[in-house]
Chains A and B, each alone.
Chain A
Amino acid sequence: MGRDEHIEAILAAWYELQECAPADRAGWLARRNSLLDQAIAASPSRSLSRRELIEALAPRFNAYKLARRQEHQAKMADKLRQP
């Protein structure tokens, strides 16, 4: 997995963790945390904590969430326009 893909995968898993049904939370948390741990392990900053990386990624995550919401709203608008 490339670096951009890795960031995208983290953000996607984080998004699913927030949006999923309660019964799926443990699974998505494990997935997101595993991706964060892999990123930290592959970097020179191995002493970095998961939450530090989460905080560093937070603005990107908010932008990602906004883009996903806008995408969803555009799809819904298209559906409504269909005869």
Chain B
Amino acid sequence: MLPVLTRWRLGDTVALMTTQAATLESPRSARAQALSFLAEEAARDVGAPRQNLPFDLALWFKTVKLFHEFENEEMLGQNPPENLQRAHRSELAKLIGFGEFVLERLRENDVTVQLGVTLADVEATLEELYDRQRAWYGGMTDPRREQILDEVFGGAR
């Protein structure tokens, strides 16, 4: 996995998110503008030696936050169109991939203190993204869902 991940660039993700946000939203929202700003920041990092681990970590946290806002605004309380679901699923997978890449490097060189967090906070953020992936795209059927909730919580639902 590592050779694939090392070729991955966060700028690719941010640029894609920006393009998708600009395509899907009209007029241009504050979120799309923020993603554009991040894309420009990340573009400076593309092709450069990847030694700025605190920057990568901060950028990852920021992109997770923007992704969360994007999800809340576009996916909740409605039946999102297929292209939006594909974009959401794809970006979530990329965020997880980059998170794994950053975490692997943090385990060798823990610089989390520079951002006022711990390695456990990074691991927790990544675990939550995996949970999110399962929650949105796990493929559980409604009958199975009902069965589990009945077994665990009984009639309390």
Complex alpha-carbon distance, A45 and B61, angstroms? 35
For the residues of B in contact with A, the DSSP-based class is: helix
Task: Give the distance to chain B from A15, nearest Cβ to Cβ, in Å.
Answer: 11
Point out the residues of chain A lying under 8 angstroms from B76, CB to CB: 62, 65-66, 69
Task: Give the distance to chain A from B151, nearest Cβ to Cβ, in Å.
Answer: 4
Return the chain A residue nearest B154 by Cβ.
Answer: A3
A43 adjacent to B136 (CB under 8 Å): no
B124 interface residue per 8 A CB criterion: yes
Partner of A3 from B130, B144, B156 at Cβ < 8 Å: B156
Complex alpha-carbon distance, A50 and B118, angstroms? 23
10 nearest A-B pairs in the assembled complex, by CB-CB distance: A3-B156, A26-B120, A58-B135, A29-B124, A25-B124, A56-B148, A55-B138, A43-B152, A45-B151, A25-B121
**Complex A-B: 30 CB contacts under 8 Å:** A2-B156, A3-B153, A3-B154, A3-B156, A17-B128, A18-B128, A22-B61, A23-B121, A25-B120, A25-B124, A25-B128, A26-B118, A26-B120, A26-B121, A29-B124, A29-B128, A43-B151, A44-B151, A48-B152, A51-B130, A53-B152, A54-B134, A55-B134, A55-B140, A56-B144, A56-B152, A58-B136, A62-B76, A65-B72, A66-B76
